[in-house]
Chain A
Amino acid sequence: AQKITQTQPGMFVQEKEAVTLDCTYDTSDPSYGLFWYKQPSSGEMIFLIYQGSYDQQNATEGRYSLNFQKARKSANLVISASQLGDSAMYFCAMRGAQLTFGSGTQLTVLP
């Protein structure tokens, strides 16, 4: 069985600052993938970034980067230069045959 844990129900960050959203995972599979999705108040699920368990380098997509620490089983999302539009719920997810989601972190960017 696999499990995703997001321990921060809510986070605040000042506009233009960087923020790290935590995600830890547990799995017995040697091969797995980790995703981050953004869910704004409008409700849609927006894919942000993906990290494979065998990837040597941390994934980056624009202002998003994934701080992957395999030994610690963590896959934290780093958002650089936060913008007001980044205010949303963020979900970490792990894929096997299915996709397992964490409970999410509500990020609020303050002007």
Chain B
Amino acid sequence: NAGVTQTPKFRVLKTGQSMTLLCAQDMNHEYMYWYRQDPGMGLRLIHYSVGEGTTAKGEVPDGYNVSRLKKQNFLLGLESAAPSQTSVYFCASTGVPYNEQFFGPGTRLTVL
């Protein structure tokens, strides 16, 4: 099992560009999450999904959109990137919402 994978690992964007981050899990988990981690801070929840076809907003959803068309994939989109979105993005999944979350390796995004 690969667990939780994220694509890409690194990306540099210019202000106003768009991109999509892909999270994939092979553990048949229902719940998936996108977090961002800024320097010196803990993770903050952007969006999450409790199952295929469903998404919900987390703590810091503005400027991001998500989709969960397939159970194993959770996409995070930035329509018009801003320097404030420079961060490390983590995806996580869990089979039961109150259990341990399994994290991907992270995507380091820089917006110039």
Contact = CB atoms under 8 A, between A and B. Distances in A.
A68 interface: no
Interface string B39-64: 01111110010000000001100000
Contact of A45 (B48, B58, B90, B99): B90
- How many interface residues does chain A have, given as a range? 20 to 34
How would you classify the secondary structure of chain A's contact residues: helix, strand, loop or mixed? strand
- How many interface residues does chain B have, given as a range? 20 to 34
Interface in A40-62: 43-45, 47, 50
Contacts of B45: 98-100
A41 to B, nearest CB: 12
A50 B98 CA distance: 10
A74 interface: no
B41 A103 contact: yes
Given A43-B106, A95-B98, A102 B88 contact: no
B97 interface: yes
Nearest to A95: B98
Given A97-B97, A98-B58, A99-B101, A43 B88 contact: yes
Given A33-B98, A35-B100, A99 B40 contact: no
Contacts of A98: 33, 45, 48, 58-59
A44 B105 contact: yes
Nearest to A32: B98
Interface of B: 33, 40-45, 48, 58-59, 88, 90, 92, 97-103, 105-106
